[in-house]
Amino acid sequence: MKAILALEDGTIFEGIGFGVNGNVIGEIVFNTGMTGYQEVLTDPSYCGQIVTMTYPLIGNYGVNEEDTESKRPQVKGFIVRELCKMPSNWRSMEGLNGYLTKNNIIGIEGIDTRALTRILRDKGTMKGIISTDPEFTYAKYEKEIQAYEIKNPVNEVTTDKIDVYTSKKGSKRRIALLDLGLKQNIVRSLVKRGCEVYVFPANSSADEILECKPDGIMLSNGPGDPKDCVKPIETIKELIGKKPIFGICLGHQLTALASGANTEKLKYGHRGCNHPVKDIEKDLTYITSQNHGYTIVESSLDKNRMVVSHKNMNDNTVEGIRYLDAPLFTVQFHPEASPGPMDTAYLFDEFIEMVDGNVTINIKN
């Protein structure tokens, strides 16, 4: 069926619909990864967004049950240049079209995704609509598009109860993980390193988190404007200094806000698994996986307490902070990857070393 992609500035693309029919409005963003579309679709950090894949062929290795980062797709819509109709991979369980249909997601293919990406790079991230309405006109949906906003998406994607994950080989330490929209590979990365992981809802209090007697605390990735997360910011402020802390992506931003720094929206964000980031202390540049639309304002950092540890080599934005007055460090990128290179997984090892230097209890299995 014919489908339309319309941007808030009135730009129209005509293509072919896949997944389900209907209309969906969201924030249009682009991802530069060549692979990893299943991880992208299920990444809670994309809540409220319609994702454009810049690589021209998507769906060629199908979909399986093992590569998901959450229980269901989190994107509002999906845009590709060409949808592969006949996937070929020994792990494939179904095609991408069937997967999106089953999960009630609207997609569009057959448009010039390079042209769309250039528009978003030049003008910045925009709101838009994918529609299979045979009588579509921009005027018909203009007010809805203009009125759309992503507000408090963390509340949509966080867990509603405390979940516990343990290692089959036994757990040597307990980690409390604040779920702001976590990717499941954060849990896997901790469990693999001998951790028992308690996952807490985003609006949990500091007392509730500390009640499980954790040896360390992780702050996950997540969607939306970090300044909307009023309750988590207050919780993090209370947790700083109580236990070793490691924050990723949104957790990185909220920790900075809790420490008096500021954040701002990027023109079109960083999304993909090929972004170069320099570890300043090691004087090494790594290729990283990224998914964020906001950044920490470097000039707002308290230099007596906060040191920039990582820098983005494309635009020089802050990608990591180490705190001088507490066992605490955070990064903007995703060391758990999925998809993306595993170059920065060493940060989980550094966190474990920091935790082990501060362990107060041992878990008996």
Residues recognised as catalytic: 249, 334, 336
Cβ atoms within 10 A of the Cβ of 93, count? 13
Question: What does the block give as tokens for 332?
Answer: 């903007």
Amino acid, single-letter form, for residue 32:
T
Q: What are the strands, taking DSSP E only, across 153-229?
A: 163-165, 173-178, 195-200, 216-219
Lookup: tokens for 136: 């579509």
Q: How far is it, in rounded angstroms, from Cα 358 to Cα 327?
A: 9
How many Cα neighbours within 13 Å face the side chain of 178? 36
Strand ranges inside 243-304, DSSP E: 245-248, 263-279, 284-296
Long-range contact set of residues 206-210: C-beta below 8 Å, sequence gap at least 24: 206/235, 206/238, 206/239, 206/242, 209/176, 209/178, 209/235, 209/239, 210/176, 210/239, 210/242, 210/243
Report the C-alpha gap between 290 and 38 in whole angstroms: 15
Report the distance separating Cα 81 and Cα 58, nearest Å. Answer: 8
The type of residue at 106 is I
